[in-house]
Structures are given as structure tokens and as C-alpha cells.
Amino acid sequence: MKYPALLCLALCCLFLQAYAQKRVHVIPEPVSVQEQPGEFIVDNNVAITTTSTDKQLAGTLQWFSDHVNTATGFRLKQTRQPGAKAINIVLKQGEKAEGYTLAVTPKEVTLTAGSPAGVFYGLQTLLQLLPPDIESSKQVARTWTIPCATITDYPRFGWRGLMLDVSRHFYTKEEVKRYIDEMAKYKYNIFHWHLSDDNGWRIEIKSLPELTKTGAWRVPRTGRWGNFEVPQPGEAATDGGFYTQEDIKEVLAYAQARYITILPEIDVPAHSLAMIAAYPNLSCTQLQYSVNPGSHFYKAEDNALCIGNDSVFLVLDKVFTEIAALFPFNYIHVGGDEAYKGFWDKCPKCQKRMGEEHLKNVDELQSYFVKRMEKMLKSKGKKLIGWDEILEGGLAPEATVMSWRGMKGGIEAAKQNHHVVMSPWAFCYLDLYQGDPAAEPPTYGMCRLTDSYNYDPVPEGVEEQYILGGQGNLWTESVSNYRHIQYMTWPRALALSEVYWSPKSKRNWDDFINRMEMEFVRMDTAHIKYSRSAWNAIVNPQQNNGGEVSVQLSTEIKGLDIYYTFDNSDPDNWYPRYTGQPLVFPKGATNLSIITYRNGKPAGEQVTVSKEELLKRLKDN
């Protein structure tokens, strides 16, 4: 072949040109994207058209128009006449549930979907195709263009959720609404609302006013959760809050307008100290406890309901009667996790119940409780879902299992032909460390961005029909303000959105990182705080037989250079670069400082870790 070098150069130029021309960067990744040349220009002459008279669709189109108006100043006209220079909305029977097709040409945009929900998801994609300034809270003067493309899209799973714990720290209804807005951008459709725990009861139950009068409030504490001082005699309980039933209705309507279903959780029989503080007769000990402020109490205070006490079921019937009337979702989450059974073992009422019901042990006693809860919920037209501990002692006949301690509980439930929602903690717990603890707010455990992105909710050997989907869970023991909520949620919830929405075959880590970095620009515009921990160096300590400590370094993100120092100064790209060989602490050195760079510019944060801390990690492992 003549001039092979020229041919190679030409091919490289074509590749770079094609990469530069890639203009569609959507999260979660659609099923199919076909880019075309050209762009659709959005201006004051653009109309939104539809022949549908669906009321919810009308609200969705108004939401979209308002969103566009905020950043652009354009008021998109709404009309029933499809035509050029328009965003045409077509509802068409036979399309996949929640799916859509988006066709953008220089003359018009056509969004076809089988339901208003599909239209909403298609509009979320359309917003991601607009420049990042579309997320601005004030008008931006610029040319507004949408790249031409044809996108076909639909979700892999029907259950795509995020859970927010509002018991450990209370968040206002406005903050909850903002969280719903943020998750809606990435096509989540379930908001799991953890409304009760040991540290606060957060929902008004009109027939049981003490639940919020007493159970919603605790003494104020700041610092490291689990180490707080216990309530002192006479100390006022001023920290907390709750949602009135009118607040709940308002948030439900807000979520429904964004095609998000709310799953309420009342955590029983354990994690019930706030309920017991309000009604002490509900525990085995019947002692008066305070709502726990975040101090260590496990096994010292009785936070589990007495299953032998008939009053417990009378109270729960009142609670779930009002919960069932408020929330339209056919599921109610009853918790069922982490029950310390020691008080049941010693309780005469529980022992009597076990004898009457021919129960062999306290595991079967908990199973009895869950099965009774299932019948109670069923009488109110609801289905029971609980954490995977509800498997212990025998699973209730129609229960759905939310598997958190790993995949094992979900596998066991699916093999018993029960539905499963996967949320294994190592991949889906958004309250865990997402980078080296030396550079992170204090918490526990580790769930890196790669962990969230690379896991699959359908274990090998399990029929996919039993896996409803999955969710990320944000427990808030160590999360005391809304900015921290955002930091812990994003970007791991971006990764999970792709796990639950996109085809498994489309999973591509490098491409996801490119799209995510572009999404960060939108988040910056929207003033959403996110973590860049995945750009930090990973520290892996080792120790030889002589006790000498060495360190291997790596990164989650490809193409990063790592620079380091042992002399307590702050490294930059003029310091030694890590070459892949283990680093040994020089004599007298006590700290290792590292930072990552990409293309000559800082990529991650500086991480400084002491030799003492590395030895502790080795010992703990």
C-alpha cells in the first residue's frame, strides 16, 4: 500500500474529529443514540405541541416550559397543531412502559412515548442535550441549541429508587422536594422515605399525638455520631421536627408530578426507640427512655417492640391505617432489620406468645410479627416490603424483600419466588466512604464509585423476573445538612441510575466518566454539591515480615498521574511521580501526602495519611 503513514494520519484525524463531534452525553445512557449533523435552535418562536388532552401530561409540559423559561427567558407557546419549529409531543399506544423516542432535526423535535411518564423522561433527556446553562436559576444570554440525533430509550428495571433517612437528621419538606427534583433528572422513579427510627419519629399520626409531641424531638448534639453524650436530667429536647399530614400530601403531589412514587417506611419491630419514648408500655421493659440523640445504646436500652403485648398491634394498626390512607403506593416498608432479640428472650409476654403460637425460637417470633404485619397491611390494600432480615424464621407468604446485607438475602427470596429489590450495602449504601478516609467526612465502610457502577442487580442463577430493580440508600447518622446529602449522593447515584435504567450491554466505565464530568458542569450551574473522590489516589498499605510499611497507589480514573512527598510539604506535579513500585516510608517519616494530576492540572484532592493510620488499617483488616 502506498503512503501508509498518510493513511494512518488521516484515520487518526477522522477519529479525533468524530470524537470531537460527539455531542450527546446523557446519564443514564440511552438504549440507542444515533447522532446526525446539524442542530435545533431554541428561541421565542418555538412551540410545544400535542393533541393529547391528558391532564398530567399538560402539567409535565408546563413544568418543562417553566424550566426552559427560567434560564432562557423564552416562553414556549403551547398549541395543539404539530408543525415545524416545534417540540412535538406524541402519545402513542404500543410504546414500551416509561420508554420514549426522541428525534431532533434542524426543523423540529419529535418526542414519542407510550405514556406521560415516557414523555417526562424524554424531556429530561432533552434538557441534558441543551447547554449546561439550562440549569441556571437566572436568565442567561446565549444561543440555545440541541444537537440533532435520534434516541430510543426505555428502562431495564421498573424499580429505580433512592432512600433518604430523615430520622437520624430531620430535613424540611422543601429539602425533600429538592432531593426529588435532583433524582428525577436521572430517571429515578421511587423515593423511599425512612420516616421513623430510634432517633426521631417524623410523620404525624393524628390518633397517636405523642408520637410527634415526644418522639420527634431529642436533645441537640454535634460531633461524631455514636459518641454523643446521653440526654441529661432536665435537658430540653429541641432538635428535630416532623411532617404534618398536609406536608405529606404536598410532597406526594410534588413527587407524582415528577413521576416518582413514594415508599413510606415505618421501621419495626426494632429501631423503635422514638415510638417507645412516646409510649413506654410498647417495649418489653416498659421503661421510660428518651429519643436517642446519637449516643451508643445497643443492648443497653430496649428499642424493640414487645411482640407478646397486644397493645403493640393495636398501636401499629392505628399507625398503618393512617399511613395507608395517605400514601397511594401499594407497598409499605416495615423495616424488620437489626432486631436485638435479647429482651424478647427474657420477656414473659413474648415467651407466652411463643408458647401459644408454637414458636421454637425468637427468630420465629420475629417471623410471626412480620407475617402478622403482612396480614394487617393486606387488610388495608397494601403489600409488605422489608429488609432481608424478614427471611429469618420464615418469610411471610407474599412479602417482598429489600436485600441490604449483600445479594444473599435477595437470592434466597427470589428462589422462593418472592420479588426482590436489590440494595446491597457494599454497592448501594451512599453513606459509606467513597474515597480514602483521610480526605473524607467521617463515616464507616467503603463504597467507591466503581463499586456502584460495576455491580449488577441480577445475580447469576436468579430469574430476572423476580428482581424488581434496586436503589441507593442514604442513611444520615453522619449527614447533618443538605449540602452533605448532595455530596454523599452524587456521583454514586449517577452510576446507580445507569445500573437500573440502561442496558447492561451499554455499561462502559470510561465513557461514563466522560459523560459524568460533563454532567458536573450542569451540577455546578445548578449549585449541586458532588464528590470528586474518584479522582483521588487510592492508598493500599502493606507490611513485610520485618515490620516495614510500604504503600501501593492507584486510581479509579484512568490517565491520572500521582505525585507524592514524605516530608510534610504539599506535593504538586514538580514532586516525585509515582511509577507503580511500592513506596517505603523513609526513616523518620510519619506522613505520606499524595495528589493526582491530569494533563498537568490537579484532578483530585490532596490526601495525607500517617504511618500510624496505615498500621491501624493493616491491623483492622
Cell of 335: 423495616
Contact 250/179 with Cβ under 8 angstroms? Answer: no
Q: Any residues with CB less than 8 A from the CB of 194 and at least 6 apart, and which?
A: 163, 164, 165, 166, 167, 265, 267, 475
Spatial distance between the Cα atoms of 150 and 596, rounded to a whole number of angstroms? 38
Q: Residue 7: is it exposed, middle or buried by C-beta count within 10 angstroms (0-12/13-18/19+)?
A: exposed
Contact 254/180 with Cβ under 8 angstroms? Answer: yes
φ, ψ (nearest 5 deg) of residue 511 = -65, -40
Spatial distance between the Cα atoms of 158 and 500, rounded to a whole number of angstroms? 8
Does the active-site annotation cover 338? yes
Q: Which of 95, 175, 338, 364 is catalytic?
A: 338
Give the bridge partners for 540, in sequence order: 552
Q: How far is CA 402 from CA 43, 79, 158, 210, 384, in A?
A: 47, 45, 15, 30, 11
HSE-up of 458 (CA within 13 Å, CB side)? Answer: 16
Spatial distance between the Cα atoms of 614 and 331, rounded to a whole number of angstroms? 45
Spatial distance between the Cα atoms of 184 and 160, rounded to a whole number of angstroms? 10
Which residue do the cell numbers 424531638 mark?
Answer: 217
Spatial distance between the Cα atoms of 396 and 377, rounded to a whole number of angstroms? 12
Q: Residue 476: is it exposed, middle or buried by C-beta count within 10 angstroms (0-12/13-18/19+)?
A: buried
Max CA-CA distance within the chain?
94
Catalytic residues: 338
